[in-house]
Structure 1
Amino acid sequence: MFSGVPIAHTRAAPEKCELSSRLGEKVRFPTSDGFDLPGLVLGGGSRGVLFADFLGADVCGWISLGQQLADDGYQVLLYQGRSTAPTMDADIGAAAQELADRGATSIIAGGVLHAGAAVALRAPRISGLAGVFLLHLPFEPSDGVNVPTRELEAVRKLDVPVFIGADSGGEEQARRFAEAASRDTLAIEPDAPGGVEVIKDGEPMRDKLRAFVLASMPVPAYERWRWPVGGAVALLVLAALGVVVHRRRRGRTA
């Protein structure tokens, strides 16, 4: 957690969609500027995936893919964030710190539209960064004036894999970012829906983004099998205890 943030005096960001404890572990974590953000953690382990949010509109749309990645062995953090550039930067930093505090030593972070742009700027300051994904970046095709200089420069400095996804309308800007990235994966889906809908069930972009995460930050084998093996061991222990109790009862009635 960020030090020096008095939790008792933080302002709570409102919850804009239901983050049910039936889906994962509900959490709240502090930002450096005094907000307390609601979030949801799916899965566990040392490989973290951070879905950055913009205005709380994206968070519920990430849940399905987040659950799939959790099944793949990742620790996934979704949160409900704020809207301006400085607050989005603080929110992303706090979310990355929350993942680190929960044991994630490697993190892939990204988002849609302005959240993705904010991740591009924050990425060099995310500890353990293993990759970045940017979907539907919010820039019009280049006209010689509207050039996203800061974001391009930030991506150019990254030495981690970068996934860039867009529809046909955003292809020019997507290619510009792909050229800036030293290790890029460019995915153009001409008919891709807007916003976070681009990764809903059945969308090609969803499968491509999941494949990017799997390839860029593999889960160690011992972590991938830890929970199934642990569950099997627990069942064996319970079965053994049942046998012992049964034998004791038979001995008493003999």
Structure 2
Amino acid sequence: MLRVRVVAAVALGCLGLVSGCSGPADKPARDAKAGASTHSAPTPSATASRAPAPPDHKPVSYKPGSPDRTVRTARGYLVNTCVPKDLRSKATTLTTSDGVHLSALVMGDGPDGVLLDHEQGYNICSFIDIGRQLAERGYHVVIPEYRDHGASEHVAVNEHIDRDARAGLAELRRVGAKRVFLAGASCGGTTAAVAGVDTPLRVVGLLMMSSPARCSLGVDVDAVAAVRKLKVPTLLVVSPGDMEGAVEKQVREVYAASAAPKKELVIDKSGYHGTDMIKRAGASGAALQDRVIAFITDSYDAAR
């Protein structure tokens, strides 16, 4: 019954697979598993020569999308209550090109960045376990929460989340990242790919989980056009049970269009959508999370 409800939720939020995907607004985060790092830490000399971090953004007052799921941190930033207390000090406020304020987590440091874009209808905690592990392995991680979601600013029309992805990339660049791995789920993956095409950062890889070929978000966000230009290691993941196969059809279209010399298509049997393939699928979800992290670290190793 659980899988049936998940598919039904996806169908409501992905009508025609052009308006993003929705699911439960808050989901409990599974404890991140400890793992050996394959990403080398900066040498002391590199750390000593690194430019000092720029000052953080000033806290902003605004109406969040979900006031009942929002708290203000000790530093004055709004953050989703799903964020563990030990990570709330990593919260900040980003401002998009059209002036919308986003709650975001900025974890880790260094020149190797990772952008993690959640599904529409989900929240900043969708990728929080992966983000924590990557930060511990020496990556600079930014997880923006989309407009009108959680602790990000309420807007009358939930469109233009491509601008939210671009704000996340701009933050990575501002805090010193030189390269970026793009990752997202559902329309979060679609927008991450599109935003990555014109970022000044060097893109080293792409992850798209249950991401449709196109999303209509105020403008048409076209992943097919994007992956023809992003010739970087690419991992696509989808469940054949997601929306009775409709999502798999879209993902296969993206896979066929990809110009990446190294590309992988993982057919996950769980029946779940997006990060639920990791967070709600038990042992297979844990294995998929390990595979995702390994793909990111391998992509960075290949880019050296």
Fold agreement, TM-score > 0.5: yes
From 208, 212, 232, the equivalent of 1:134 is: 208
Residue 20 to residue 9, structure 1, CA distance change in 2 (3 Å): closer
1:219 is displaced (CA, Å) by: 10
1:18-167 mapped onto 2 (5 Å cutoff): 18=81, 19-20=83-84, 22-23=86-87, 25-55=90-120, 57-82=122-147, 86-128=159-201, 129-138=203-212, 150-167=222-239
* Structure 1 unaligned residues grouped into runs of 5+: 1-6, 141-147, 222-254
Higher relative contact order (CA 8 A, sep 6+): 2
Greater mean deviation of Cα atoms: 117-126 or 169-178: 169-178
Looking at structure 1, the residues matched to 176 and 167 of structure 2 have their Cα atoms a distance apart, in angstroms, of 14
Query: Which one has a bigger Cα radius of gyration?
Result: 1
* Structure 2 unaligned residues grouped into runs of 5+: 1-57, 70-79, 149-156, 215-219
Question: What RMSD, in angstroms, separates the aligned Cα atoms of the two structures?
Answer: 3.1
Looking at structure 2, the residues matched to 65 and 192 of structure 1 have their Cα atoms a distance apart, in angstroms, of 21
Task: Give the length in aligned residue pairs.
Answer: 209
Residue 196 (structure 1) aligned with residue 268 (structure 2):
no
Deviations, residues 59-90 of structure 1 (Å, cap 9, x unaligned):
11211111111122111111211277852111
Deviations, residues 44-72 of structure 1 (Å, cap 9, x unaligned):
11111111134461311211111111122
Task: State the secondary structure of the residue aligned to 1:127.
Answer: coil
**More helix, by proportion:** 1
Task: State the secondary structure of the residue aligned to 2:160.
Answer: helix
Aligned-residue identity in percent: 27
* TM-score using structure 2 length: 0.60
Residue 26 to residue 190, structure 1, CA distance change in 2 (3 Å): same
* TM-score using structure 1 length: 0.71
1:12 is displaced (CA, Å) by: 5.7
Structure 1 residue identity aligned to 2:239: D
Q: Which residue of 2 aligns with 1:208?
A: 291
Looking at structure 2, the residues matched to 85 and 212 of structure 1 have their Cα atoms a distance apart, in angstroms, of 32
